[in-house]
Structure 1
Amino acid sequence: MNSWVLVLRAADQAARWHANQRRKGHAQEPYLNHLIEVASLVTEATDGADPNVVIAALLHDAVEDQKIPIHRITREFGQPVADIVMEVTDDKELAKEERKRIQIETAAHKSRKAKLITLADKTSNVRAVAFSPAADWSVKRREDYITWAKNVVEELRGTSVWLERKFDQAADRAVQSLTPPLAG
């Protein structure tokens, strides 16, 4: 089957698997928007040269958020895609702080494809912190998230200059969003 047909099948599957999931931000965007943004960033960063990494980007949260069995991803999209998805999937049985620590510690040791998805994911998430933060996130929590994302990305430097620049721009905007504009 043509690999770009598989990309569209993955987008369709991601839409179905995440149909009832919303982003945490005040805009409550469909979660699919995040998955498409991550896939789009990865596609641009690679000039569309690797459909498997685009498919994995679309499916990167399926196991973690929707409990989709990895064998299903393997069956429908192949072992290379499943391997990438598993590489970027957190073990939700661990405490949140432990998962965050592990992401920083393991980032530099991931495959290039997993690094690209992680960079794109952090870029998308930091953009959300700037433009549609969760209503219950204090300024401190937003600041802590940005700092943590920067620490993860620091371990990924050298993967994609273009994508790293996109992250840096998003992080700068997110930091600026923490300070309300001065009344004039």
Structure 2
Amino acid sequence: MATGKSANFGAKNQAADTLLILRCANFAAVKHKDQRRKNADKTPYINHPIGVANILSEEGGITDPDVICAALLHDTVEDTNTTFEELKTHFGSRITNIVAECTDDKSLPSDERKQLQIVNASGSSHEAKLVKLADKLYNLRDLTNEPPVGWSEEKRANYYVWAQKVIEGLKGTNDALERKLDVIFSEKGLKP
């Protein structure tokens, strides 16, 4: 057991990490406050980034506070009026850089954005790959359990095929999350 100065240092770091994660959760909650998921229940959107962060920590064993923070913030620039500069000011460069790697350029057509996710997956940082894996896992579970209103079976099937192509570029990042994704793909008749 650590004693004295080193134990106190660890406790201070843990407290600072907790405060940072809570600040990110609050920031994301404020930014996403009026948004809803596209499921029949119109679930509050904030459930998604919180769920992605939870998947990372609970199922992926990730304890890096910057990765957890990036998961909480991963859709703020893409889906709200948040800027990268704003994230950098509040949360620093490392978190902002991870979020940037997970952010689609909404000025591009949807098909092009989806193709870029496939192309760019393998070149992403380890931290961004973790967030992307957890994000896809959350979305695929939602697609199975609470699909977006109006999505046909064909559109859902196409999403699984596309997501699997993205995941291929993320392989070797986190065995636990990848196994869970493989189970989903296998259940849909897609071979890993």
TM-score (norm 2): 0.86
- How far apart are residue 47 of structure 1 and its match? 3.0
Q: Which residue number corresponds to residue 84 of structure 1?
A: 98
Q: Which residue number corresponds to residue 151 of structure 1?
A: 165
Write the mapping of 1:40-79 to structure 2, written as runs, cut at 5 A: 40-44=54-58, 47-79=61-93
- How far apart are residue 87 of structure 1 and its match? 0.7
- Judged with a 3 Å threshold, the aligned counterparts in structure 2 of structure 1 residues 172 and 131 are, in CA distance, closer, same or farther, namely farther
* Matched AA of 2:120: T
* Matched AA of 1:110: S
What is the SS of the residue equivalent to 2:46? helix
What is the SS of the residue equivalent to 1:25? coil
Q: Which residue number corresponds to residue 179 of structure 1?
A: none
Write the mapping of 1:30-179 to structure 2, written as runs, cut at 5 A: 30-44=44-58, 47-172=61-186, 175=188
Task: Using the aligned pairs only, state the percent identity.
Answer: 42
TM-score (norm 1): 0.90
RMSD: 1.5
Aligned 8 A contact 2:130 2:173 in 1? yes
- Unaligned segments of structure 2, at least 5 residues: 1-14
Instruction: Give the number of equivalent residue pairs.
Output: 175
What is the SS of the residue equivalent to 1:31? coil
Aligned counterparts of 1:49 and 1:126: Cα–Cα separation in 2: 23
Aligned 8 A contact 1:42 1:54 in 2? yes
- Judged with a 3 Å threshold, the aligned counterparts in structure 2 of structure 1 residues 112 and 45 are, in CA distance, closer, same or farther, namely farther
**Which structure: larger Rg?**
2
